[in-house]
Amino acid sequence: MDKIRVVGGTSLSGRVEISGAKNAALPAMAAALLTEEAVHLENLPYIGDILTTRDLLRNMGVDADVREDGTATLKASDVRSPEAPYELVKTMRASILVLGPLMAKFQRAKVSLPGGCAIGARPINLHLAGLERMGAKCDVVHGYVDALSPGLHGSYLLMDMVTVTGTENLMMAATLAEGETVLDNAACEPEVSDLAALLRSMGAEIEGDGTRTIRIRGVRKLHGCRHRIIPDRIEAGTFAVASAITQGDVEVAGCDPRHLTAVLTQLSQTGAEISIRPDSFRVRGRSPISSKNVTTYPYPAFPTDMQAQYMALMTQGEGSALVTETVFENRFMHALEMIRMGADITVEGRQALVKGGRPLTGARVLASDLRASASLILAGLVAKGETLIDRVYHLDRGYYHIEEKLARLGARIERIR
Ligand code: EPU
């Protein structure tokens, strides 16, 4: 299994180009199930989760071609089995995103339950409750959701928690349902709006995306389209922290800084100098780094997907910072690995107290999930000596060539095969 080796101590500088957003690309690929016509996607990141989704769609009979240049053509004119097997779902929870489109188009679906993962229990009760209100019957048998409906109908759906893939699943299900669906307390993440834009160009009638109330009027049929995926705000944020933590000077290009308002505001409060242009921003790290508390919430607040990276930065802060995770119940596994590198972090429930100013030393560490892996690389960039990160497959699920991009900015980093 591959490992990543980082030798700390260099300051990053230069320009990095951001790839397409994983979490926008995954629902976009699932949306191709809603039409028999070809859906052409551009700016897909060529990463593990995208290839898993391609395999999942192919397994159902979709003609799915994903190319390394970031383009894909998906044609679901011959779907033979509306099923997502355990083998594929267990490696990627986002497989659940096929449930909504399958129910809309084929009125039946069999999708493995994702189960818990390294960041929490991650139930899908809200996805199922929404589909049931729209007329589906969802049974859980042998670890699978077995769903059937005589045809979905529109409904008023108030979700008790903000769920990103839940909103996406129900929005897709509603596009072909009879009548109007209102999704209340919907997720406002840019990835949800990107999916809404894709669905509109397939002929769907959706308004209100980007707000807490989304209205979808069902149509009889959707058609093929061409759509460009938005840039990955979490990848952009990860490079922003890489610059700040190494006292670097990095231009993060090909992104949408409006999607990173909370992250860039937080970083500027820690002392980093940030200048923003329409499709790029520049981060100049400054010493000392001020320790500032942060709390994760759904968009537009500070994202849970940046919590681990921010914690790495706070290990180098001047003072103490309280990091509060409100989205997932167990997303501090990286803290234990950072402690092994010399960080002073105390975790209690959903809060971690990070006492800064401790020099980190390189160590062998284990990546527990995607963002945890990124945070350990960031810690490695400032640690004395060598950090060896194991279980790099988590990283490869979500970041396109991160070690090459960092190396081009001057990091001493390599993949060991
Ligand atoms: N929740 C429920 N019931 C549900 C659905 C969610 O209780 O039916 C809870 C979850 O357990 C969690 C909270 O609601 O505590 C929010 O979870 P959400 O459903 O929003 O998460 P998700 O849709 O499974 C997406 C991203 C994650 C990201 C979260 C939060 C995709 C494919 N995944 O997951 O991305 O952390 O939203 O923003 O879009 C990552 O990229 O590393 C990643 C984990």
For the stretch 178-203, pLDDT in tens is 999 999 999 999 999 999 999 999 99
Nearest CA to ligand 1 atom 16: 163
Find out whether 84 and 97 touch, Cβ atoms under 8 Å: no
Distance (angstroms) between ligand 1 centre and the Cα of 167 equals: 10
For a ligand 1 pocket test, name from 164, 195, 326 the mutation site with the most ligand atoms within 8 angstroms of its C-beta. Answer: 164
Q: Residues near ligand 1 with C-beta < 6 Å?
A: 23, 26, 93-94, 120-127, 161, 163-166, 191, 303-305, 327-328, 370-371, 398
pLDDT for 286-312, tens place per residue? Answer: 999 999 999 999 999 999 999 999 999
Ligand 1, atom 15, residue with closest C-alpha: 328
Atom 44 of ligand 1, residue of closest alpha carbon: 305
Ligand 1 closest atom vs CA 187: 20
* Residue that has been written with the tokens 């591959």 in this structure: 2
In this structure, are residues 94 and 117 in contact, taking their beta carbons and an 8 Å threshold? no
Query: How many angstroms separate the alpha carbon of residue 177 from the centre of ligand 1?
Result: 24
Question: What's the pLDDT tens digit per position in 65-87?
Answer: 999 999 999 999 999 999 999 99
The least confident of 72-86, 108-122, 237-251, 395-409 is 108-122
Number of neighbouring beta carbons within 10 Å of residue 264: 22
Q: Looking at residue 361, what DSSP letter applies?
A: B
Q: Return the percent helix, strand and coil in the chain, to nearest 5.
A: 35, 30, 35
Q: What is the pLDDT of residue 413?
A: 98
Give nearest CA residue, ligand 1 atom 4: 124
Query: For the whole model, what pTM was predicted?
Result: 0.98
Q: Give the whole-angstrom CA distance, residue 52 versus residue 99.
A: 16
Distance between Cα 124 and ligand 1 center (Å) = 9
Q: What is the pLDDT of residues 98-148, one digit of tens each?
A: 999 999 999 999 999 886 678 877 899 999 999 999 999 999 999 999 999
- d(CA 328, CA 161) in angstroms, rounded, equals 12
Output the residue whose Cα is nearest ligand 1's atom 36: 305
Buried b vs exposed e over 94-117: b needs ≥16 C-beta within 10 Å?
bbbbbbbbbbbbebebbbbbbeee
Q: Which atom, in ligand 1's list, is nearest to the CA of 328?
A: 15
CA 128 to ligand 1: nearest atom? 8
Q: Given strand 156-158, what is the order of strands in its sheet?
A: 156-158, 180-184, 213-217, 205-207
**How far away, in angstroms, is 121 Cα from ligand 1 center?**
10
Taking residues 3-25, what's their average pLDDT?
98
* 117 classed as catalytic: yes
Say what the pLDDT of residue 174 is: 98
